């Protein structure tokens, strides 16, 4: 496969247009057959549900070139399921699981020249999304929908290498107790932009959001879940119905328990307990794990003992094991790796 002439090593986490993308339309109560198209632009009615009432959701996953030269995706069945659940909550017609995987295969095969080579540090980021494309004026679900999936080669999320991040506890809430925090809807991101902007202005990489009801339990950041490591090497992740179920976090918890044989706990984590942890990290598809250096709270700054220079040792082991599985260097648990080419 002749690769595109791209300087893989200098790619950032940004959009590069690739050759083709997958599109399917839902109309008259059914999905059409779907097709690959070349046009990267979307033309929709001015009154489309997505434009007026933000009826839209998305997913994010990656394809990798493995050490033995295959192109694989990591647990895409879980992205298909999560998008299905999100669509249900936003009254959109879910895109069927098998169609989602078929679209992924077609998309990546058509853009193989954009899949970064093994060892380049870059990956192919895949963005499935679903939105109300039919017109509405009264508040109601749209009469027609569009499912699309495109891909773009991306570099490491944090280009300067994996330096521990400075977080602040946000003054804003991310998700209401019986709201939409658990689904991957565009709406959760639109309203987080202001808080994110404030955090950056104050010199922080991300916001740590507390639970909206009591302002005392750790939820997540705007786009990544938390894991913490206790001083006796237990891996702990916050539990709450308003946290988005990160596939990276669920995979890391499995790796911790079943591969590294560490004790794991998914439970409510009070902010007051964080000062007692040895290590912490943010987890999501884009960066896998980003270590936390400090968290600025109303009561002062918490410095995690792992420091401001590098990942803590357990976080590093989790990172190495999961990326090793993704890149084909380590044996994957059954069903985690979907081979595309």
Ligand X SMILES: *Cc1c(COP(=O)(O)O)cnc(C)c1O
Q: Between residues 103 and 322, which has the closer beta carbon with respect to ligand X?
A: 322
Q: Between residues 305 and 333, which has the closer beta carbon with respect to ligand X?
A: 333
Q: Between residues 86 and 111, which has the closer beta carbon with respect to ligand X?
A: 86
Query: Which H/E stretch holds residue 146?
Result: strand 145-154
What are 192's two structure tokens? 């987080």
Q: Between residues 142 and 247, which has the closer beta carbon with respect to ligand X?
A: 247
Active site (annotated) includes residue 184: yes
What are 168's two structure tokens? 């602040």
Residue 3 carries which DSSP code? P
What are 90's two structure tokens? 């936003």
Cβ pair 36, 21 in contact under 8 A: yes
Q: Shortest distance, CB of residue 267 to ligand X, whole angstroms?
A: 18
Q: Shortest distance, CB of residue 247 to ligand X, whole angstroms?
A: 3
Q: Using CB under 6 A, which residues numbered 267 to 286 contact ligand X?
A: 283-285
Q: Using CB under 6 A, which residues numbered 197 to 256 contact ligand X?
A: 220, 223-225, 244, 246-249
CA distances from 58 to 82, 138, 180, 279 (A): 10, 24, 14, 30
Q: Between residues 224 and 318, which has the closer beta carbon with respect to ligand X?
A: 224
Among residues 184, 201, 310, 317, which one is catalytic?
Answer: 184
Q: Shortest distance, CB of residue 5 to ligand X, whole angstroms?
A: 29
Please work out the total of residues on this chain that contact ligand X, with binding judged by CB under 6 A: 14
Q: How far apart are the first and last CA of the chain?
A: 11
CB burial of residue 39 (10 Å; 0-12, 13-18, 19+)? exposed
Angle separating helix axes 313-326 and 247-254, nearest 10 degrees: 110
**x-marked contacts with ligand X along 171-190 as a string, rule CB under 6 A:** -------------x------
**x-marked contacts with ligand X along 60-89 as a string, rule CB under 6 A:** x-----------------------------
Q: Shortest distance, CB of residue 181 to ligand X, whole angstroms?
A: 7
Cβ pair 311, 319 in contact under 8 A: yes
Query: 130 — phi, psi (to 5°)?
Result: -140, 130
Q: Shortest distance, CB of residue 49 to ligand X, whole angstroms?
A: 21
Q: Between residues 26 and 58, which has the closer beta carbon with respect to ligand X?
A: 58
Decide: is 90 part of the binding site for ligand X (CB under 6 A). no
Query: Which H/E stretch holds residue 190?
Result: helix 186-190
Any idea what the Cα angle at residue 34 is, between residues 109 and 140, rounded to 5°? Answer: 130
Q: Shortest distance, CB of residue 224 to ligand X, whole angstroms?
A: 5
CB burial of residue 46 (10 Å; 0-12, 13-18, 19+)? exposed
Pinpoint the alpha helices (H) of the chain: 49-53, 76-89, 97-110, 186-190, 193-201, 247-254, 313-326
Residue 244: strand, helix, or coil: coil
**x-marked contacts with ligand X along 12-51 as a string, rule CB under 6 A:** ----------------------------------------
- List residues with catalytic annotation: 184
Q: Kindly list the residues in this chain that would bind ligand X in the complex (CB under 6 A).
A: 60, 184, 220, 223-225, 244, 246-249, 283-285
């Amino acid at each position: 496969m002749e690769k595109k002439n791209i300087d893989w090593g200098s790619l950032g986490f940004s959009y590069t247009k690739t050759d083709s993308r997958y599109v399917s339309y839902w109309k008259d109560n059914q999905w059409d057959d779907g097709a690959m198209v070349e046009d990267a632009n979307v033309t929709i009615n001015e009154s489309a549900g997505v434009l007026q009432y933000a009826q839209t959701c998305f997913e994010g996953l990656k394809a990798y070139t493995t050490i033995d030269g295959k192109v694989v995706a990591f647990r895409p069945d879980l992205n298909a399921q999560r998008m299905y659940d999100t669509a249900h909550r936003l009254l959109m017609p879910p895109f069927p699981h098998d169609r989602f995987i078929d679209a992924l295969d077609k998309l990546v095969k058509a853009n193989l020249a954009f899949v970064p080579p093994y060892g380049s540090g870059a990956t192919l980021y895949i963005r499935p999304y679903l939105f109300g494309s039919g017109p509405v004026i009264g508040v109601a679900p749209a009469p027609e929908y569009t499912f699309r999936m495109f891909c773009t080669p991306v570099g490491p999320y944090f280009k300067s290498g994996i330096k521990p991040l400075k977080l602040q506890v946000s003054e804003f809430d991310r998700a209401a107790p019986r709201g939409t925090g658990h689904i991957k809807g565009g709406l959760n991101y639109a309203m987080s932009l202001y808080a994110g902007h404030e955090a950056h202005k104050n010199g922080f990489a991300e916001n740590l959001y507390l639970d909206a009801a009591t302002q005392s339990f750790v939820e997540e950041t705007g786009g990544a879940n938390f894991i913490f490591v206790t001083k006796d090497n237990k891996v702990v992740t916050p539990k709450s119905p308003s946290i988005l179920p990160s596939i990276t976090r669920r995979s890391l918890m499995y790796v911790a328990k079943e591969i590294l044989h560490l004790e794991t706990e998914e439970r409510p984590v009070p902010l007051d307990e964080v000062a007692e942890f040895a290590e912490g990290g943010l987890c999501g598809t884009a960066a896998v794990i980003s270590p936390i250096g400090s968290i600025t709270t109303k009561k002062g700054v918490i410095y995690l003992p792992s420091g401001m220079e590098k990942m803590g040792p357990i976080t590093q082991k989790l990172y190495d094991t999961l990326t090793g599985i993704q890149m084909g260097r380590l044996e994957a648990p059954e069903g985690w790796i979907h081979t595309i080419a």
